[in-house]
Chains A and B, each alone.
Chain A
């Protein structure tokens, strides 16, 4: 009976998480106001965190909230507020030629890939991980240890590469954002 109750509870948790993720994700695209879109993005992130907890990945859930909801979306909102882009934009002209066709092809590839993965692998059937051949990862505190060991041994190269990528992105952003001063600019400043 207890097993049945747990099964029911996990189905309910999954349904809640899925609902949060889907409603949030649709909201991000469908809502007109960018701030509202950012808010529904937070809802999606919370849904993903719940899904992580349901999979006993407590650490990932906590980090998901701290990093994504607590820092990245805050920066999105910061930019939205700072630049004052919270008015409706008029997108009559499509900036990229044929973007609708590309979007359709991209969506088809993504959905197709997911369907193929579902058909050929077992990860929808409740297996905890692909790499451990369906054996559940450790829960609770041991979870962090396992994750840390994996990152700093097996996946060290990928980890360092990600770090390098982020630094490159920051340097690139600074380079792009730095404006060259020309004689023309200074004339404008003198006029103003």
Chain B
């Protein structure tokens, strides 16, 4: 069987011809252009909005309203000297920025930007790619982008970036669990992994959007976890400038720093787009009764919704103080993961039958009570040399030998 048929893209239904290849190429180029243009505007928008919130003027010199400030910054960064610290691991140091940029681009390729149009007898979906494992690919890419941050910090051969990369790896792994659970909830309701199907299953009005259909809880969990996954304020302990100088990219300069900066904003836009795709029906919206150009309205709806979330991220940054590292970990492990897990069980129960749903809700409530009790017990525990737990059973290895192994030379 033709494996491309299984990909769910009607473009490949009649085999791969020259025209189809050309369409794919154009889609890729347009997608790339769209995200690059959006990043340029997003950087300007964030600086302008933040400066308004902080009663400053912000960029104003280059172009109308300072619109060309980003271009000027980019040119300046390219013109700067490219430094590699003497203690750096040269290969990894140069590799790391690309490990951040490439996953950001791939994730954007999965987002449906509009409906389906017909070009030269071919049905063309307005999304760069629609692989059958769409949303899992997004999770995989957010897993890969951890490496960029982590390796950038480690390979710099400097203390603050290393601390930052240790924080980044722990934080991003912790929040990925909650993220995954929420996505499972969506997949349960949709019955499909492809982003296109997730969007089409939410068609037919606002009440069918996952935001409302699944209860608001998965949306809130997803929004918080994705903000943490992006290392955006208020979860930006990775680049907390008052503690870690500049975080993982302290030692980077020139275009390599530019790539990190680019990827950060690219991720912000992409994740806003992913939230819109998963919870707000993607390009779904009211289409006015016009004869032509009907296909343009879904794109407008999509851009409007995505801009809303992009603004929300800027707003978070302007309004919320940074979390402390332990608060961040508490929120991830003690609140979001149990919450998303419990909600997933309740949704799964209701999908089978209301009876099962209420049973699950009762079970989740019971576990929640137990968990809260366990947390209070753990927090009120006395920490001191006398408060050590008693020894349970016999150790397979005597303590003397373990101490020798773990303490090394001492």
Q: A residues bordering B, Cβ < 8 Å?
A: 2, 6, 33, 35-36, 39, 42, 56, 58-59, 61-63, 65-66, 69-71, 74-75, 77-78, 81-82, 86, 136, 139-141, 143-144, 175-176, 178-182, 186, 189
For residue A136, which residue of chain B has the nearest CB?
B1
* Given A59-B133, A180-B399, A65:B192 Cβ within 8 A: no
Q: Name the prevailing secondary structure of the B interface residues.
A: helix
Q: B residues bordering A, Cβ < 8 Å?
A: 1-3, 6-8, 15, 89, 91-92, 131-133, 136-137, 139-140, 142-144, 146-147, 150-151, 154-155, 162, 165-166, 169-170, 172-173, 176, 180, 192-194, 385, 388-389, 391-392, 395-397, 399, 402-403, 406
* Given A2-B15, A59-B133, A66-B143, A182:B150 Cβ within 8 A: no
Find out whether the CB atom of A81 lies under 8 angstroms from the CB atom of B139.
Answer: no
Find out whether the CB atom of B144 lies under 8 angstroms from the CB atom of A69.
Answer: yes
Tell me the bound Cα distance from A180 to B406 in angstroms.
Answer: 13
Find out whether the CB atom of B137 lies under 8 angstroms from the CB atom of A62.
Answer: yes
Find out whether the CB atom of A140 lies under 8 angstroms from the CB atom of B150.
Answer: no
Tell me the bound Cα distance from A42 to B95 in angstroms.
Answer: 14
Find out whether the CB atom of A81 lies under 8 angstroms from the CB atom of B385.
Answer: no
Tell me the bound Cα distance from A181 to B388 in angstroms.
Answer: 8
Find out whether the CB atom of A39 lies under 8 angstroms from the CB atom of B92.
Answer: yes
Find out whether the CB atom of B7 lies under 8 angstroms from the CB atom of A140.
Answer: yes
- Name the one of B132, B140, B146, B154 contacting A141, with C-beta atoms under 8 angstroms: B132
Find out whether the CB atom of A42 lies under 8 angstroms from the CB atom of B6.
Answer: no
Find out whether the CB atom of B147 lies under 8 angstroms from the CB atom of A35.
Answer: no
Chain B residues whose C-beta falls within 8 Å of the C-beta of A143 in the assembled complex: 132
Find out whether the CB atom of A70 lies under 8 angstroms from the CB atom of B136.
Answer: no
Additional A-B contact list (14), CB under 8 Å, known A69-B140, A70-B143: A42-B147, A59-B133, A62-B136, A70-B140, A71-B143, A71-B176, A74-B172, A81-B154, A86-B154, A139-B132, A143-B132, A175-B392, A181-B385, A186-B385
- A191 nearest CB across to chain B (Å): 13
For residue B170, which residue of chain A has the nearest CB?
A78
Find out whether the CB atom of A70 lies under 8 angstroms from the CB atom of B146.
Answer: yes
- Name the one of A66, A86, A141 contacting B192, with C-beta atoms under 8 angstroms: A141
* Given A62-B137, A77-B169, A69:B143 Cβ within 8 A: yes
- B191 nearest CB across to chain A (Å): 8
Chain A residues whose C-beta falls within 8 Å of the C-beta of B91 in the assembled complex: 36
6 A-B residue contacts at CB 8 Å? Answer: A35-B151, A36-B91, A78-B170, A82-B166, A143-B132, A189-B385
Chain A residues whose C-beta falls within 8 Å of the C-beta of B132 in the assembled complex: 58, 139-141, 143
Chain A residues whose C-beta falls within 8 Å of the C-beta of B136 in the assembled complex: 59, 62-63, 66
Tell me the bound Cα distance from A70 to B173 in angstroms.
Answer: 8
* Given A69-B144, A70-B140, A176:B397 Cβ within 8 A: yes
Chain B residues whose C-beta falls within 8 Å of the C-beta of A59 in the assembled complex: 133, 136, 193
* Given A74-B143, A140-B8, A176-B402, A56:B3 Cβ within 8 A: yes
Tell me the bound Cα distance from A62 to B385 in angstroms.
Answer: 47
For residue B406, which residue of chain A has the nearest CB?
A179
Chain B residues whose C-beta falls within 8 Å of the C-beta of A144 in the assembled complex: 193
Find out whether the CB atom of B146 lies under 8 angstroms from the CB atom of A81.
Answer: no
Tell me the bound Cα distance from A59 to B135 in angstroms.
Answer: 11
Find out whether the CB atom of A58 lies under 8 angstroms from the CB atom of B131.
Answer: yes
Interface centre among A33, A63, A77 (most CB of B within 10 A): A77
* Given A58-B132, A65-B140, A141-B193, A78:B399 Cβ within 8 A: no
Chain A residues whose C-beta falls within 8 Å of the C-beta of B391 in the assembled complex: 180
Chain A residues whose C-beta falls within 8 Å of the C-beta of B173 in the assembled complex: 71, 74-75, 78
- Name the one of A63, A70, A182, A186 contacting B144, with C-beta atoms under 8 angstroms: A70
- A5 nearest CB across to chain B (Å): 9
Chain A residues whose C-beta falls within 8 Å of the C-beta of B169 in the assembled complex: 74, 77-78, 81
Find out whether the CB atom of B150 lies under 8 angstroms from the CB atom of A77.
Answer: yes
- Name the one of B133, B143, B150, B154 contacting A58, with C-beta atoms under 8 angstroms: B133
